[in-house]
Amino acid sequence: MDKTDTIKILDKNFELFLTEEEILNAVKKVAGEIAADYKDEVPIFVGVLNGAFMFVSDFLKNYPYPCEVSFVKLSSYRGLTSTGIVETLLDVPDNIEGRSVIILEDIIDTGRTLQELVHLFSNTNVKNFKIASLFFKSEVYNGEYTIDYFGMKIPDKFIVGYGLDYMEQGRNLKAVYQINQSHMINLVLFGKPGAGKGTQAGYLKEKYNLKHISTGDVFRYNIKNNTKLGQLAKSYMDKGDLVPDEVTISMLKDEVEKNPEASGFIFDGFPRTTAQAEALDNFLDSKDMKIHATIALEAQDEILINRLLERGKSSGRSDDQDEEKIRNRFEEYNQKTAPLKEFYEAQGKFHSVNGIGDIEEITERLSKVIDTLS
């Protein structure tokens, strides 16, 4: 690869993925397919800002028949779960009744934005509603809507250029570049309830610029907002039982997908079963990522129980207030989570750190392990 094939934007390295010519061929493919279907009417193309502006421009230059163009802009909403509420900054055009509308998207990945778009147009009286996307991450797409037209399928890697940004930069690049993940650090913080995983993750995420994902926190957020996921998890959490793997694994994947730009992740409270650990390995592998280290915070049960009861007085967490529930959480840990030590030891990734001491001192012990990772 020569020098111009790799670029740096802010803190991230990217390498050339698609040349201008390859992109233009994909644009022409979409334009040709749509032209064949719509040559007898005047469709309205609706570009989705900001990312699609370059695609819309080249698309129109290659669309040979009469047409109109308009744009929508969704707010860059990124909550923990989709609320179903669509926030728009630039709304649906007002002359679309009875017309054929074709959405022009730059990229479709999990389908979250698409779902919002479909919702946005669901109250309009259009003759015909279609979706065209230049890029399509078919492996991660889990929406119900069929993608009507796409330029090319691409693997699930973060891309930038040709309208697509990393932290708002890179939209002006003529080619498309793919992130180079070799500088990433992904950690699993391991340990019993009360070991200090959440506290330490809070410090480590700042120090190493990582994204902290606590499955317990995501569940609590969903319970607080009374989402379907929250309702499902509540009965298990109230008893101190683990939430079923299927639910937890798909939620975790979702959280990772929401952060394609992260420099790495701290997984806190996940994995907690062998099935979760295996699912995590497979999932990361499919994204060209991996776990670099699993670090256990060690402390004796009696100390942890006292810590949890103390925390329960201020946190309001019902599972921290009742010794019976705490003991059940430990039982779940011993039976289902403890075997993961061997799982990660077999991969040469398991590290143990003394979890008793000052918070800063413990952060230091963890940092020593992290600093040795390549």
CB atoms within 10 A of CB 236: 16
Strand order in the sheet with 159-160: 6-9, 12-18, 176-179, 159-160
Does the footprint of ligand AMP cover residue 307 (CB under 6 A)? Answer: no
State the minimum distance, in angstroms, from the CB of residue 335 to ligand AMP.
Answer: 13
Residue 283 in contact with residue 256, Cβ under 8 Å? Answer: yes
Number of residues in the chain? 374
Q: Is the peptide bond before 193 cis (omega within 30 degrees of 0)?
A: no
State the minimum distance, in angstroms, from the CB of residue 165 to ligand AMP.
Answer: 32
Query: Under DSSP, is residue 6 helix (H, G, I), strand (E, B) or coil?
Result: strand
Quote the tokens at residue 335: 């039976």
Q: Which stretch binds ligand AMP (CB under 6 A): 39-47, 94-102, 152-160, 266-274?
A: 266-274
Range list of H helices, 81-130? 112-121
Which of positions 352-371 make contact with ligand AMP (CB under 6 A)?
A: none
State the minimum distance, in angstroms, from the CB of residue 268 to ligand AMP.
Answer: 7
| Among 166, 270, 344, 350, contact with ligand AMP (rule: CB under 6 A) | 270
Give the residue with the Cβ less far from ligand AMP, 179 or 340. Answer: 340
Does the footprint of ligand AMP cover residue 219 (CB under 6 A)? Answer: yes
Which of positions 184-203 make contact with ligand AMP (CB under 6 A)?
A: 193
Would you call 197 a catalytic residue per the annotation? yes
Quote the tokens at residue 126: 């259009």
Does the footprint of ligand AMP cover residue 108 (CB under 6 A)? Answer: no
State the minimum distance, in angstroms, from the CB of residue 191 to ligand AMP.
Answer: 10
Q: Which stretch binds ligand AMP (CB under 6 A): 42-50, 55-63, 96-104, 214-222?
A: 214-222
Does the footprint of ligand AMP cover residue 243 (CB under 6 A)? Answer: yes
Interatomic CA distance for residues 172 and 333, integer angstroms: 50
Catalytic residue among 272, 307, 325, 365: 272
Give the residue with the Cβ less far from ligand AMP, 133 or 248. Answer: 248
Contacts for 232-240: CB closer than 8 Å, 24+ residues apart: 237/319, 238/318, 238/319, 238/325, 239/325, 239/328, 240/319, 240/325, 240/326, 240/328, 240/329, 240/332
Interatomic CA distance for residues 124 and 101, integer angstroms: 11
Pairing outcome for strands 176-179 and 159-160: antiparallel
Does the footprint of ligand AMP cover residue 38 (CB under 6 A)? Answer: no
- The residue count for binding ligand AMP (CB under 6 A) is 17
Angle (CA) 88-89-91 rounded to 5° is 65
Residue 106 in contact with residue 50, Cβ under 8 Å? Answer: no
State the minimum distance, in angstroms, from the CB of residue 237 to ligand AMP.
Answer: 4
Give the residue with the Cβ less far from ligand AMP, 58 or 332. Answer: 332
State the minimum distance, in angstroms, from the CB of residue 194 to ligand AMP.
Answer: 8
Would you call 317 a catalytic residue per the annotation? yes
DSSP 195-264: SSHHHHHHHHHHHHT-EEEEHHHHHHHHHHTT-HHHHHHHHHHHHTPPPPHHHHHHHHHHHHHT-TT-SE
Does the footprint of ligand AMP cover residue 242 (CB under 6 A)? Answer: yes
Does the footprint of ligand AMP cover residue 240 (CB under 6 A)? Answer: yes
State the minimum distance, in angstroms, from the CB of residue 215 to ligand AMP.
Answer: 3
Does the footprint of ligand AMP cover residue 272 (CB under 6 A)? Answer: yes
Q: Which residues are catalytic?
A: 197, 272, 311, 317, 329
Query: What residues line the site for ligand AMP (CB under 6 A)?
Result: 193, 215-216, 219, 236-237, 240-243, 248, 269-270, 272, 276, 319, 329
